[in-house]
């Protein structure tokens, strides 16, 4: 998938070239599975409104795809969507006139999506800050990077466009220090290592990601063992790149999926409500002062409880 903006109209345009694995799949299902936070019914509305073309022609929602089809979706502007401030509990780790760093609780979605405009971190930030950068549009004000809904931990947001541009550039050149703590299944033998494996959409389930050479992006995760707990291992992981579900996919790839991961994990063993993954460290250069800042957030109580139980065995 490619994502581009039309410079004259400012429209968001999504493009796909259909692979043979998805021949004969309905176009509404294909697009919904390819876009995070977009429902199939929303895609059907877009198709009915003529926002979707295949090989340059409009189609119906039940159109069956063929290998090589070129799909283009012009995503309607979201200016009419009103994202409202909400008094959602927010643990602020650091804040000044340009940047805010929060320790996100597990279960909180980072930003609104079409058809889901409330109960997110963005709604909470709007209530708390009143001033957020507008670079990412009305659905994602201030958001420079994301962590998954069921991943807890540190996340930075920008209060103005200058700060946003600086933080985004640091993420792009991999200078932001992002370290995670994860509890995984199995006994990780090596004390430390690097997983260098490209990540792309799963050919059989486009809501998932996997290690693949096809339509993939370079992805690198470094890990080191913090503690071995019988059939489980506590790891510290450092992201060199920031792909969707990167840690979860890479750990599954090496045979050590995250405890509690509902998508990539195992159904047996220790139970958690969401994956045992915590963004513990976040370091970056302040956009205004040039000072290097680094923050640490303790493990959430549910992970501490699981670790205490494993240590007592």
Catalytic residues, by residue number, are 148
Q: Are 222 and 250 in contact (CB under 8 A)?
A: no
Question: Any residues with CB less than 8 A from the CB of 291 and at least 6 apart, and which?
Answer: 285
| C-alpha to C-alpha distance for 54 and 73, rounded to whole angstroms | 9
Report long-range pairs for 64-68 (Cβ below 8 Å, ≥24 apart): 64/24, 64/25, 64/26, 64/27, 65/18, 65/22, 65/23, 65/24, 65/25, 65/26, 65/27, 65/30, 66/18, 66/23, 66/24, 67/18, 67/19, 67/20, 67/22, 67/23, 68/17, 68/18
Residue (of 18, 261, 265, 284) closest to 163 by Cα position: 284
Quote the DSSP letter at residue 244: T
Question: At 140, phi and psi to the nearest 5?
Answer: -130, 45
- CA diameter of the chain: 63
| E strand or H helix that includes residue 306 | helix 301-311
Alpha helices in 227-293 (DSSP H): 246-253
Residue (of 182, 180, 175, 167) closest to 281 by Cα position: 180
| C-alpha to C-alpha distance for 17 and 19, rounded to whole angstroms | 6
């Amino acid at each position: 998938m490619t994502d581009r903006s039309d410079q004259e109209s400012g429209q968001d345009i999504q493009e796909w070239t259909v692979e043979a694995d998805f021949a004969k799949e309905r176009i509404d299902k294909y697009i919904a599975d390819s876009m995070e936070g977009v429902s199939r019914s929303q895609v059907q509305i877009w198709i009915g409104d003529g926002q979707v073309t295949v090989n340059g022609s409009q189609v119906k929602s039940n159109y069956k795809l063929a290998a090589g089809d070129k799909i283009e979706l012009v995503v309607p502007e979201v200016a009419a969507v009103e994202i409202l401030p909400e008094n959602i509990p927010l643990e602020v780790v650091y804040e000044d006139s340009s940047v805010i760093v929060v320790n996100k609780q597990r279960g909180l979605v980072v930003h609104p999506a079409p058809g889901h405009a409330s109960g997110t971190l963005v709604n909470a930030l709007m209530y708390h800050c009143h001033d957020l950068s507008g670079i990412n549009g009305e659905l994602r004000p201030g958001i420079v990077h994301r962590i998954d809904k069921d991943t807890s931990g540190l996340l930075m947001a920008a209060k103005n466009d200058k700060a946003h541009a600086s933080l985004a550039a640091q993420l792009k050149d991999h200078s932001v220090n992002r370290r995670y703590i994860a509890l995984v299944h199995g006994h990780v033998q090596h004390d430390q290592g690097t997983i260098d494996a490209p990540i792309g959409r799963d050919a059989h389930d486009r809501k998932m990601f996997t290690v693949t050479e096809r339509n993939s992006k370079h992805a690198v995760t470094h890990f080191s063992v913090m503690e071995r707990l019988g059939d489980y291992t506590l790891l510290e992981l450092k992201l060199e790149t920031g792909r969707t579900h990167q840690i979860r996919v890479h750990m599954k790839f090496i045979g050590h999926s995250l405890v509690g991961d509902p998508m990539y994990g195992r159904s047996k063993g220790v139970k958690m409500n969401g994956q045992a993954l915590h963004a513990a460290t976040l370091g970056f250069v302040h956009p205004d002062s040039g000072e290097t800042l680094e923050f640490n957030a303790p493990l959430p109580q549910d992970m501490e409880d699981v670790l205490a139980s494993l240590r007592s065995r």
